[in-house]
């Protein structure tokens, strides 16, 4: 491993099995594997972790590193990300006619969000993403996805639309 790889390598030396425990096949999708709910510091609650290409050993090795980069994010990171999520809420009110909620400051948006699962995915562009699937009070049909490129930081807050990047 060269210096650059060492610099960006996850500091958590536990194995995937030690972090998430045994995986079981997803009842919904072939090739997907999921864990029992695991306490996620970013959400302050337990979520099942779903690996969307669990049959692929290369994917799983990369997913382990992505997960290790994501897990150190805490509720403090979530509060710093409030503005990005609140912008999505405001866009839904303005553009889609969603009913306004009692949001006086950006961090209030979290009172109307319920995380349901965490997915680790590899997009066709080759990038890996952690996506937290959520329900939210302002967009009941498409909900909210929180996307973390390479598990490092929130890069997109949007509806579940199959997109992982903001291209504008």
Q: Report the C-alpha gap between 35 and 24 in whole angstroms.
A: 7
Neighbours of 25 (CB within 10 A): 13
Q: Has residue 63 got a pLDDT over 70?
A: yes
What pLDDT is recorded for position 2?
Answer: 54
What pLDDT is recorded for position 11?
Answer: 58
Query: How high does pLDDT run on average in the chain?
Result: 88
Per-residue pLDDT tens digits for 106-126: 999 999 999 999 999 998 888
What pLDDT is recorded for position 74?
Answer: 96
Phi first, then psi, for residue 3 (nearest 5°) are -60, -45
Q: Report the C-alpha gap between 51 and 38 in whole angstroms.
A: 14
Q: Report the C-alpha gap between 166 and 168 in whole angstroms.
A: 6
Q: Report the C-alpha gap between 148 and 154 in whole angstroms.
A: 4
What pLDDT is recorded for position 78?
Answer: 97
Q: Tokens 């306004």 label which residue?
A: 100
């Amino acid at each position: 491993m060269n210096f650059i790889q060492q610099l960006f390598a996850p500091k958590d030396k536990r194995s995937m099995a030690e972090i998430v425990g045994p995986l079981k096949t997803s009842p919904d999708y072939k090739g997907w594997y999921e864990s029992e709910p695991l306490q996620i510091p970013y959400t302050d609650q337990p979520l099942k972790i779903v690996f969307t290409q669990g049959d692929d050993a290369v994917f799983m090795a990369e997913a382990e590193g992505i997960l290790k980069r994501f897990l150190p994010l805490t509720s403090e990171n979530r509060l710093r990300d409030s503005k990005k999520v609140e912008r999505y809420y405001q866009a839904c009110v303005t553009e889609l006619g969603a009913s306004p909620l009692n949001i006086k400051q950006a961090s209030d948006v979290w009172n109307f969000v319920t995380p349901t699962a965490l997915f680790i995915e590899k997009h066709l562009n080759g990038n890996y993403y952690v996506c937290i699937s959520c329900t939210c009070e302002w967009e009941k049909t498409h909900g909210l996805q929180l996307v973390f490129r390479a598990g490092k930081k929130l890069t997109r807050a949007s509806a579940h639309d199959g997109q992982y990047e903001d291209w504008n």
